[in-house]
Structure 1
Amino acid sequence: MKGWLLLALLVSPWVGAVTLDELQQRFTEQPVVRAHFEQTRTIKDLPQPLRSQGEMLIARDDGLLWDQKAPFPMTLLLDDKRMVQAINGQPPQTITADNNPQMFQFNHLLRALFQADRSVLEENFRIDFKDLGAGRWSLVLTPITTPLDKIFATMNLGGATYLESIQLNDKQGDRTDIVLSRHQLTPASLTHDERQRFAAP
């Protein structure tokens, strides 16, 4: 699989000083990564932030599974051919390049960007990558191409052995913060249940 959604990011371990090239290499070496997520959306017109949590899975050869547990069940499955979303037991909605080319292209671009392909990053973002020492790092991406520059002001990523935080700052002044934890690299292949979920129509 050649691309990832913005949530399918940088979840590979490494040691020592980090460069963007090393980051890219690491991402291609982990076949399956699972993690717990907690997401907080701060919307300027709402008095309280919106919080959600659940589990995510990134499979290099299959795609991304975003499995929200609370405050209500919601699943998002993304691969190179489709994006399937199901909310609270309702019939799933499928987006493909044929039925919604603009949205599919946008998500496909994001997946490619967050594979940490340096050439793609430099083409689409102004990059501020820092090795913070003690194994920690930060990556600030400022979009310079459309449609990203119309939606996001910056995308801030940070972590140590794994990606631990994602902050998305949009042009409307809203912010999404995602904290990833409980990372697991085993089993290194999909379980039977996980394969069935990716294979579902």
Structure 2
Amino acid sequence: MLKIIVASLLLWASAASAVTLEQLQQRFASQPIIRADFVQTRTISGMAQPLVSHGNLLIAQQQGLWWHQSTPFVMTLLLDDKRMVQTLNNQPPQVITSDSNPQMFQFNHLLRALFQADEKVLKENFTLDFQDKGNQRWTLGLTPKAAPLNMIFNRIDLAGSEFLERIDLDDKQGDKTHIQLSNTRIKPPQLSDEERTRFAGP
């Protein structure tokens, strides 16, 4: 789940047509809601075939993250400041709270600083490799240097133009995750009634 959370929340840090980290941070303030479709391909050490999943996500600054995987099986993940709720194939939801797992939510708070593209926090926790590729295209390589991220990932690579288009995660277990994002939308800049119900949860 931590890998899904990282990959999704990094969307905020990277949704920009910027060519500097400072511009990424400025752009963040004007992106209160992001919607996107994803294709996730996981290459797991010891498995011959990669695992491919499809779905869509919704990130709202005030409410949190809603991640919905539609294939090969249905899984929904809701994450906010106080709880993580996972629902698998319409089974009863599993709820983890900040009280029951404080380490998870310490990790979550670090990510909140990360997806705000806070340059100070990024430099404290990562070795940065930001490159302007021209024509508004950019890449950002993040090599963790602080816990808990350095215990999970070797490196995180992001790439995009106006919006984040690709996330590559290289983890300590030898697994690799590639997430391709498409159909990214920032309008309307407020949640619909149906979208609000997604964050209601148990």
TM range, smaller chain:
over 0.9
CA contact (8 A) 1:138 1:158 kept: yes
- The whole-number CA distance in structure 2 between the counterparts of 1:143 and 1:130 is 18
- The whole-number CA distance in structure 1 between the counterparts of 2:149 and 2:15 is 25
- The whole-number CA distance in structure 2 between the counterparts of 1:93 and 1:108 is 21
After superposing the two structures, state which structure 1 stretch, 96-105 or 68-77, moved more.
96-105
- What CA RMSD, in Å, does the superposition of the two structures yield over aligned residues? 1.3
What SS is found at the alignment partner of 1:89?
A: coil
1:34-49 to 2 correspondences below 5 Å: 34-49=35-50
- The whole-number CA distance in structure 2 between the counterparts of 1:11 and 1:187 is 19
Runs of 4+ in structure 1 over 6 Å off: none
Opposite residue 81 of structure 1, the aligned amino acid is K
- The whole-number CA distance in structure 1 between the counterparts of 2:113 and 2:51 is 28
After superposing the two structures, state which structure 1 stretch, 108-117 or 127-136, moved more.
108-117
Q: Which runs of 5+ in 2 are unaligned?
A: none
- TM-superposed CA distance for 1:115, in Å, is 2.2
2:29 maps to 1:28: yes
Structure-1 residue corresponding to 2:117: 116
Q: How far does the alpha carbon of each residue in 1:23-53 deviate from its partner, in whole angstroms, 9 at most, with x for none?
A: 0111121121110000000011111001101
CA contact (8 A) 1:66 1:77 kept: yes
Structure-2 residue corresponding to 1:139: 140
Structure-2 residue corresponding to 1:173: 174
1:89-108 to 2 correspondences below 5 Å: 89-108=90-109
CA contact (8 A) 1:156 1:168 kept: yes
2:198 maps to 1:194: no
1:54-69 to 2 correspondences below 5 Å: 54-69=55-70
Q: How far does the alpha carbon of each residue in 1:174-194 deviate from its partner, in whole angstroms, 9 at most, with x for none?
A: 101101000112221111111
Q: Which runs of 5+ in 1 are unaligned?
A: none
Q: How far does the alpha carbon of each residue in 1:74-101 deviate from its partner, in whole angstroms, 9 at most, with x for none?
A: 0111111211111111111112210011
- TM-superposed CA distance for 1:11, in Å, is 5.2
- TM-superposed CA distance for 1:199, in Å, is 1.9
What SS is found at the alignment partner of 2:49?
A: coil
- The whole-number CA distance in structure 1 between the counterparts of 2:101 and 2:148 is 15
Percent sequence identity over aligned pairs: 58
Opposite residue 107 of structure 2, the aligned amino acid is F
- The whole-number CA distance in structure 1 between the counterparts of 2:78 and 2:64 is 7
Opposite residue 31 of structure 1, the aligned amino acid is P
Aligned residue pairs total: 195
TM-score w.r.t. the length of structure 2 is: 0.92
Structure-1 residue corresponding to 2:15: 12
